[in-house]
Structure 1
Amino acid sequence: MTTQPLRPRRARRCPFRRIAAVACIVLAVAANARAQDMDLQSLVGEALKNNPEIAAGQSRVESARHRIPQAKALPDPMVSAGYTNEGLSQYTFGNSYDSVWAFGVSQTVPFPGKLVQKGKVAEKEMETLGLQYTALRLATVARVKELYYDLFTAHRTIDILQEKAKLLDQVEKSALARYASGMGDQRDAVMAQTEKYMLLEKAEMVRQRLSTLEGMLNSLLGRDVKSPLGTPAEPSKAPYKRSLDDLLVKASFDSPETKARMKKVEKAEAKVSQAKAEFVPDVTLSAGYSQKGYKVSQSPQVVTGADSSGSDASTPAGNKQKWTDMWSASVSMTVPIFFFVKQAEGLKESRSDLAESKYDLEAGKNMIASSIRENYSMLQSAERLSELFASGTLPKSRQDFQLAMAGYAAGKGDIYAVVSRLKSVLDYEVQYWAQLAEKQKAVARLESLAGITDGITLPKSLDTGNGAGKDAMAGGQHANSDMK
């Protein structure tokens, strides 16, 4: 009988290990995708939906909308009740002719046009707040874009510093090789190491700024400040197509800041009309009902044939109760005899407010035009510098460094030339990406100032400036419609 050799038993593979391995792979892929995927348009939509300042602006518009019907409403009517008694010793109603119960109602009716003007002032206030709400939304969008491109600059700077630290490792190795062969000095290796540590120190400082920027962006998005954020994408290198004149013209018509100041002028004009209406009196209409009662004595009455004998009988004398109903109506009006210290001063005040609003409108237009010119100049400068870096400075500095590095590795040149050229490459690369980011930041500010809403859906009433009523709340309540 032959026996089969015992085969080693295969170790059973635990299914939990497979599950854990798959889970780790999935989490790693998700984390990598999250780290790389940072969509600007999604961030803008999230900010428009969750930013607390925008929510506060919505509440201000809604609060102003509810003040309009209050301004147009009549004053509350007054109801009165009174009683007149004769003497203090006892209740004499019904026993004394002078005791009266009276009830009345009155309603003050402002002079025609006063309530209309008050309502118009409230409407202009709501429209002003609505346009300020639109300006806040555009400013929030611009701020999100600025932080986005600042984050990009920080990430790219860290990458460049790490890359140059690796190059310094190569420089250090070349310095050690030259020292080992007796062709170089040990101080070259020490210098390369020192420069590498300085780059790592700069990278740590940039990481600190990166953490600050992430906290600011999370706060703007309505998130927890420690929420993780991914890596921004590279900014567009395409030239900006709008001209300065186009931006200035568009700002004069579509800038929400300018529109809000225009609405303030209209509100001030409505307040002047309201102040003029205060010179005419208000009328109060009153109506009342009163009742009084009293007793009158009556003489005995004789009843013929009242008894069985056929003779006349009489009833004893007594008192008879009588009631009297009375109605009243009256009209009264205010007499503005102190108009020279009240209504006249109020009119002067409203006219001064109107003048202030007009000056503020002109100052606002000049300020917006100045800001547009400044940001457009920054945009053009960033475009020219980035093009200069990309076409000439960067390629030449890289070539210069490679030649210096090759010469040093071959035993020619010194470490100072290599390190200085590497620093130049580092500075130029950081400046190149920083200028691309500055260009996009300037574009974001320009679009906010000029009221450009490309890719952003604003409430219709706020976008046109013709009233900011019920549609004023639509922008924050429907987040998915914020982006086209």
Structure 2
Amino acid sequence: MYRTILPYVLAWLSLVSAVKSEPVTLKALIEEALGTNPSIHAVEKRIETARARVPQAGAPPDPILRIDFVNLPGGSIDFGRTPMSGKQISLSQSLPYPGTLAAQGDAARQGVLALESQLLDARDHLRHHVKETYYDLVFHDQSIRITRENVRLFESIADRALARYEAGSVRQHDVLQARVALSLLKNRVTGFEAARRVDEVKMNGLLGRSAETGIEVESSVHVHSVAVSAQALTRVAEKDSKILRELTHQSRAWAAWETVAKKSGRPGFTLNLSYRQRQFVAGDPVSGDDFFSAGVGINLPIFRGRKQLAKAAEARANVAWLEARMVEERRRIETDIQRIVVELRLHAKEHDLFTNEILPQTEQALRSARSAYEGDLVNFSTLLNAQSAWLEAELMRFHHGIAHAKLLAELEAIVGVSLEDQTGQPGRTGAHP
């Protein structure tokens, strides 16, 4: 039986392994996050709640239907004993001051628009966080790969040093130094692996997945040169920033609530209509005819200063606060854009410097040190320093590429639009030179 099942089990495990090792693209992760992230779902539910309040806010109060048994004698329940007794049905309708309901409906609609802008902003920031975490995964994948390559190189160097020590051509210090360097490199790999696992947990949280789910990503990014100025980006941000839209709609909502408060401080109306059914009683001057009544009531806002005007003052204060927040947000956007543009240029230059100058120089120095060490022209420390310099140059080259990509993702979240069409030709980072 086991021999019959075993091939199927092995085939299934092979399929699972193949699926797990398939790298996922950044675009696929973003699409999944937008569809499964719990925070996005929470905002969507809040929008549904707010939309359900819109028709309520603009609706008038419900009419009141009332049934009365009026003017019954105390001795018995008899509608035919007095001409004023009867069964009465009444209908009343309260009507707020004209414009109050319209202002309440406008406030509710602006609240919905504010939440919709909040949802768009949350999606932009989710894209940013997914990109940032994705780039961290790429960085740690490449750091692990590069450092493991150096571990193998150091192992060969350590073996060579041991062979030369046994032959009596080098000191024992060289062997010990090689082993220490090798142990430090292995410890560095362990650190990168732990950091990558943290990135996986963070990404799974953004995707709404189990924290134990493994993630494989593509191992390259592109360095783009931003082709637009900080001033142009600031203008785009002020036009398309979802946070500014949200604050604008919140301000309009409070302005509408101020209108509601002011109009609520003016007299409203209550219309009444009633019909009384009567029986004929001897001596009734109208011979038992039924009665109709109609009336108008007006509420008197005698506490207007303590209630409605105070609410209007509260609404004005909230409008002023939101306007101040918009000024603050515009300044923050301008400052962040200026900072990011400067840092983008710095990392682009650093990446270009390491790619075209420092890394080739360290590779050449490493090859020279290896040849010189084999010919006993330099000591072992020189070889180790050359190897370490090449490793650091490779890691720094990739660090600047990843930092550039993360800053570009942050800039897109601030501006509120994709900057793919606003960048120059990309330069690739991540492939081993």
TM-score greater than 0.5 by the shorter chain: yes
Q: What TM-score comes out, normalization by structure 1 length?
A: 0.80
User: 1:215 maps to what in 2?
Assistant: 201
Within 5 Å, give how 1:120-269 maps onto structure 2.
Answer: 120-269=106-255
Query: 2:405 is aligned with what amino acid?
Result: Q
Tell whether the 8 Å contact from 1:72 to 1:116 is kept in structure 2 after alignment: yes
Structure 2 unaligned segments of length 5 or more: list them: 421-433
User: 1:106 maps to what in 2?
Assistant: 92
Q: Distance in 2 between matches of 1:21 and 1:382?
A: 52
Q: Distance in 2 between matches of 1:42 and 1:383?
A: 26
Q: Distance in 1 between matches of 2:195 and 2:391?
A: 19
Give the secondary structure class of the aligned counterpart of 1:370.
helix
Out of 374, 377, 381, which is 2:346 matched to? 381
Percent pairwise identity: 26
Query: 1:106 is aligned with what amino acid?
Result: S
User: 2:24 maps to what in 1?
Assistant: 38
Is structure 2 residue 21 aligned with structure 1 residue 56? no
Q: Could you give the per-residue CA deviations for residues 356-392 of structure 1, whole angstroms, max 9, x where no partner exists?
A: 1111111111112222222222211211111111111
Q: Distance in 1 between matches of 2:324 and 2:216?
A: 46
Query: 2:76 is aligned with what amino acid?
Result: Q
User: 2:268 maps to what in 1?
Assistant: 282
Give the secondary structure class of the aligned counterpart of 2:267.
coil
How far residue 437 of structure 1 moved from its aligned partner, in angstroms, is: 0.8
User: 2:395 maps to what in 1?
Assistant: 430
User: 2:53 maps to what in 1?
Assistant: 67
Give the secondary structure class of the aligned counterpart of 2:62.
coil
Distance 1:398 1:36, change over 3 A: farther
Q: Could you give the per-residue CA deviations for residues 107-133 of structure 1, whole angstroms, max 9, x where no partner exists?
A: 011122111111111111111111111
Higher alpha-carbon deviation: 19-28 or 181-190: 19-28
How far residue 30 of structure 1 moved from its aligned partner, in angstroms, is: 6.9
How far residue 96 of structure 1 moved from its aligned partner, in angstroms, is: 3.3
Tell whether the 8 Å contact from 1:85 to 1:100 is kept in structure 2 after alignment: yes
User: 1:78 maps to what in 2?
Assistant: 64
Tell whether the 8 Å contact from 1:265 to 1:357 is kept in structure 2 after alignment: yes
Query: 1:71 is aligned with what amino acid?
Result: A
User: 1:300 maps to what in 2?
Assistant: none
Out of 323, 331, 349, which is 2:296 matched to? 331
How far residue 284 of structure 1 moved from its aligned partner, in angstroms, is: 0.5
How far residue 274 of structure 1 moved from its aligned partner, in angstroms, is: 2.3
Tell whether the 8 Å contact from 1:95 to 1:294 is kept in structure 2 after alignment: no
Give the secondary structure class of the aligned counterpart of 2:222.
coil
How far residue 295 of structure 1 moved from its aligned partner, in angstroms, is: 4.5
Give the secondary structure class of the aligned counterpart of 1:287.
strand
Query: 2:256 is aligned with what amino acid?
Result: A
Give the secondary structure class of the aligned counterpart of 1:448.
helix
User: 1:312 maps to what in 2?
Assistant: none
Tell whether the 8 Å contact from 1:290 to 1:325 is kept in structure 2 after alignment: yes
Structure number with bigger Rg: 1
Distance 1:112 1:219, change over 3 A: same
Give the secondary structure class of the aligned counterpart of 1:293.
coil
Q: Distance in 1 between matches of 2:306 and 2:217?
A: 66
Q: Distance in 1 between matches of 2:80 and 2:119?
A: 66
Tell whether the 8 Å contact from 1:148 to 1:232 is kept in structure 2 after alignment: no
How far residue 427 of structure 1 moved from its aligned partner, in angstroms, is: 1.7
How far residue 329 of structure 1 moved from its aligned partner, in angstroms, is: 0.7
Higher alpha-carbon deviation: 408-417 or 432-441: 408-417
Query: 1:437 is aligned with what amino acid?
Result: I
Q: Which has the higher helix share?
A: 2
How far residue 268 of structure 1 moved from its aligned partner, in angstroms, is: 2.5
Q: Could you give the per-residue CA deviations for residues 276-302 of structure 1, whole angstroms, max 9, x where no partner exists?
A: 2223211110111123436439xxxxx
User: 2:415 maps to what in 1?
Assistant: 450
Q: Could you give the per-residue CA deviations for residues 319-375 of structure 1, whole angstroms, max 9, x where no partner exists?
A: xxx744111111001111222222222222221111111111111111122222222
Q: Distance in 2 between matches of 1:360 and 1:162?
A: 50
Q: Distance in 1 between matches of 2:85 and 2:12?
A: 94
Distance 1:28 1:384, change over 3 A: farther
Tell whether the 8 Å contact from 1:128 to 1:264 is kept in structure 2 after alignment: yes
Q: Distance in 1 between matches of 2:310 and 2:88?
A: 41
Tell whether the 8 Å contact from 2:33 to 2:206 is kept in structure 1 after alignment: yes
Q: Distance in 2 between matches of 1:379 and 1:140?
A: 21
How far residue 31 of structure 1 moved from its aligned partner, in angstroms, is: 3.5
Q: Distance in 2 between matches of 1:324 and 1:29?
A: 91
Give the secondary structure class of the aligned counterpart of 2:290.
strand
Q: Distance in 1 between matches of 2:143 and 2:242?
A: 36
The alignment of Structure 1 onto Structure 2 pairs a total of residues equal to: 417
How far residue 137 of structure 1 moved from its aligned partner, in angstroms, is: 0.6
Give the secondary structure class of the aligned counterpart of 1:83.
strand
Q: Distance in 1 between matches of 2:398 and 2:261?
A: 58
Q: Distance in 2 between matches of 1:82 and 1:165?
A: 95
Higher alpha-carbon deviation: 268-277 or 367-376: 268-277
User: 1:273 maps to what in 2?
Assistant: 259
Tell whether the 8 Å contact from 1:174 to 1:409 is kept in structure 2 after alignment: no
Q: What TM-score comes out, normalization by structure 2 length?
A: 0.89
Distance 1:39 1:124, change over 3 A: same
Tell whether the 8 Å contact from 1:153 to 1:437 is kept in structure 2 after alignment: yes
How far residue 42 of structure 1 moved from its aligned partner, in angstroms, is: 0.9
Q: Distance in 2 between matches of 1:20 and 1:430?
A: 44
Distance 1:117 1:432, change over 3 A: same
Out of 355, 358, 362, which is 2:320 matched to? 355
Q: Distance in 1 between matches of 2:281 and 2:75?
A: 19
